Structure 1
Amino acid sequence: MARIAPLTKPYPDEFAQRMAILMRGAEPLALFTTLATNDRAWGKFTGGSLLDKGSPLSMRQREIVIDRVTARCGCEYEWGVHIAGFAAHVGLTAQQVHATVHGAADDPAWPSDEQVLIATVDALLDHKKLDNAQWTALRALVDEVQALEIVQLVAFYHGVSLICGALDLPLESNAARFPAAIGD
């Protein structure tokens, strides 16, 4: 049973219009219908979203960061939504999808530039900051605007992971599931 009852159809007009664009005809995610029960929570959530078309990152960079954050936070809900929705589109291999959950930053599934993205996520989640060497490595890969976007993505999806965990959202039926560790 849901901890907070989600919106049900018929949805409020503004929400329905936004979902028609965002979900492209698919049913809204439980995360969205749950947060939209409270105008303030929904407004804060959508106001902080970084999935707009103005991102200075490539879609692949953005998805690698999101996938790693949500995997490291144990948020199978959001990880699964993003893997199902974007992994093939951005060219993530099966080994890379597995590595978002089980691999280290230096996993050979990743080219060196993407290892920097993974290492940046890991450092921010583990230490809540980047040391000078980590910042230098990130800046060798991306410009200042992109670096800030990466930090904001980590913060936002850490928050999304906390929301999903607190609400104990049921996994979306069409979303991916965490892969088993090799040898399990």
Structure 2
Amino acid sequence: MTAEQNPPRSERLALRQPPYDDATRQAIENTAFTGLSPQNLRLSMAHHPELAGKFQALAHAVLFGAKVELRPKEIAIMRTTARSGAEYPWGMHVAIFGKRCDLDDAMADELAVAESDADLAHPNWTDEDRLVVRMADELHENSNVSDETWAKLTRIWDSPQVIELVFACGVYRLASYYTKTTGVPLEIGQAHFPKDYRRT
């Protein structure tokens, strides 16, 4: 039986199955990824092709059009999705981008379970990494950052890059809302939350 005949199952919103009109098919097949790709997310969002296309464009701008370096951007995304309890986007970003920005499995797991940036124990964390975690935590908790955090961010990155980091957190908070609310099934090959994960 093919994957199309036996699609992954969502407990809430079934992944959209054929037939598709041309616009929906284009949205489903439109991906910048090779190998592991968020196909289940695209099939879920295909219930609303117009919003799906706009979300894809925004996510693409954050992922591939940003000037800020990959590592801080991915730390912001992974921390935001972990704090939101959203295993789908967290695990996809760990699997696709983790090694590309020198985050090994132990570091990714720490991003999921650490209570705060002060609890990151791996020796490879930098002060900049910890600052991004603090930013993501403050945005998660307050929809804002402290003046101290803002001052530190703007000493390291220019204004467009800081905006990109804030957008990375915001776009992936939206992705967390969507994937959890609609029950997007996990992809084969993505990472999973560590056993000691608990939503923080």
TM-score scaled by structure 1? 0.87
Q: Does 1:105 align with 2:117?
A: yes
Cα deviation for residue 138 of structure 1 reads 1.1
Is contact 2:62–2:164 with CA below 8 Å preserved after alignment? Answer: no
Which segments of 5 or more consecutive residues in structure 2 lack a partner in the other structure? 1-8
1:21 CA displacement: 4.3
Q: How many residues align?
A: 182
Matched residues, percent identical?
26
Are 1:7 and 2:16 counterparts? yes
**Secondary structure in 2 aligned to 1:118?**
helix
Is 1:133 the counterpart of 2:142? The answer is: no
| Match among 128, 142, 166 for residue 151 of structure 1 | 166
Relative to structure 1, is the Cα distance of residues 128 and 20 closer, same or farther in structure 2, using a 3 angstrom cutoff? closer
**Which residue of structure 1 aligns with residue 105 of structure 2?**
94
Q: 1:8 is matched by which residue type in structure 2?
A: Q
The correspondence for 2:86, drawn from 75, 82, 94, is 75
Give the corresponding residue for 2:47: 37
Q: Relative to structure 2, which stretch is displaced further, 72-81 or 41-50?
A: 41-50
Per the TM alignment, residue 157 of structure 1 is displaced from its structure 2 partner at its CA by 0.5
Q: Which residue does 1:163 correspond to in 2?
A: 178
Equivalent position amino acid for 1:90 in 2: C
Partner of residue 174, structure 1: 189
Counterparts in 2 of 1:8 and 1:73: CA distance versus 1, 3 Å: same
Higher mean Cα deviation, 128-137 or 35-44?
A: 35-44
Residue 16 of structure 1 and its aligned partner are, at CA, apart by 5.0
Q: Tell me, in whole angstroms, the C-alpha distance in 2 between the residues paired with 1:42 and 1:12.
A: 14
| 2:4 counterpart residue number | none
Hey, what's the Cα distance between the residues in 2 that align with 1:98 and 1:25?
23
Mark the CA change 1:25 to 1:131 in structure 2 (over 3 Å): closer, same or farther: closer
Of 114-123 and 84-93, deviating more is 84-93
Counterpart amino acid of residue 108 in structure 1? A
